[in-house]
Structure 1
Amino acid sequence: MTPRTLFTWLARAEVVTWTLLLIGMALKYVTRTTDLGVSVFGLVHGVVFLAFVLVTVVLWVDQRWPLREVVLVLACGIPPFATLYAERRVERLQLAPSRWRLRAGGDEAASVPERAVAAALARPVAAALVGALAVGAATLVLLLIGPPPVPGSGA
């Protein structure tokens, strides 16, 4: 999978999960009919957000993004639908091309993070499994910590 395709899919998945979460929040807080949408879509959104962060960091290392760009793209993962802006910016600035820079036969890795990304690109299936495990572990830790308190709830 190309850097451009991977980033685009995750940026758009983030928009879809934000939409579902906002619908779930409307059902819970506006209509007071059910909190199931927040429970389910909140978890899905959290997992997609963590995957978006992981892929953004990998692209930052692989494509040598300026720090300003990675901070901006990561910040776009926070407000609803801002990843659409990030996706267009990344496309316009050609920050996610159609080839991985550190793939086999590409540039030589010059730092520890680059060597880690190069190793992941050399074994994409194993890297995807490790990435999924990392996202799963982070999700589990965040679930154990619990959700942030709702303002005005006295928690």
Structure 2
Amino acid sequence: MTPRALFTWLARAEVVTWTLLLVGMALKYVTRTTELGVRVFGLAHGIVFLAFVLVTLVLWVDQRWRLRDAVLVAAAGVPPYATLWAERRVERLGLAPTRWRLGVGGDEPATVAERAVATGLARPAAAVLVAAVAVGLTTAALLVIGPPPVPGRGA
């Protein structure tokens, strides 16, 4: 999968999970019918958000993004639908081309981070497995920590 396709897919998945989470929040807080939507769609959104940030980090290393670009794009996963802006920015600036710089036959990695990305690109199945485990463990840790306190209800 190309860097552009991967980033676009995750940016759009973020939009879908934000929409589902907002529907779940409306059911919970507006209609007061069920909390299930927030639980299910909140978890899905959290997983996609972590994957979006992880891919942003990989692109930062592989494509040698400026730190400012990486931070802005990663932060776009926080507000609803801001990944649409990030997707347009990445496209406009050419930050996610159609080939991996550190992929097989590409540039020689020069740093530890570049070597890690190059290793992942050389072994995509293993990289997907490692990424899934990392996202899963991070999700599990965040579930143990629990949700942030609701404003007005104390900490």
TM tier, smaller:
over 0.9
Match of residue 111 from structure 1? 111
Percent of aligned pairs with the same amino acid: 78
Match of residue 150 from structure 1? 150
Tell me how many residue pairs correspond in the alignment: 155
How far is the alpha carbon of 1:152 from its aligned partner? 1.6
Match of residue 139 from structure 2? 139
Match of residue 47 from structure 1? 47
Q: Are residue 124 (structure 1) and residue 97 (structure 2) matched?
A: no
Return the alpha-carbon distance in structure 2 between the equivalents of residues 149 and 6 of structure 1.
34
Return the alpha-carbon distance in structure 1 between the equivalents of residues 123 and 29 of structure 2.
45
Q: CA RMSD in A?
A: 0.6
> Cα deviation per residue 1:86-139 (whole Å; 9 max; x = unaligned)?
000001111000000001110010000000000000000000000000000000
Return the alpha-carbon distance in structure 1 between the equivalents of residues 110 and 92 of structure 2.
27
* TM-score of the pair, normalised by structure 1: 0.99
Return the alpha-carbon distance in structure 2 between the equivalents of residues 149 and 25 of structure 1.
15
Return the alpha-carbon distance in structure 2 between the equivalents of residues 11 and 25 of structure 1.
21
Structure 2: gaps spanning 5 or more residues:
none
Letter matched to residue 131 of structure 2? G
Moved >4 Å (runs of 4+): none
Structure 1: gaps spanning 5 or more residues:
none
* TM-score of the pair, normalised by structure 2: 0.99
Letter matched to residue 36 of structure 1? L
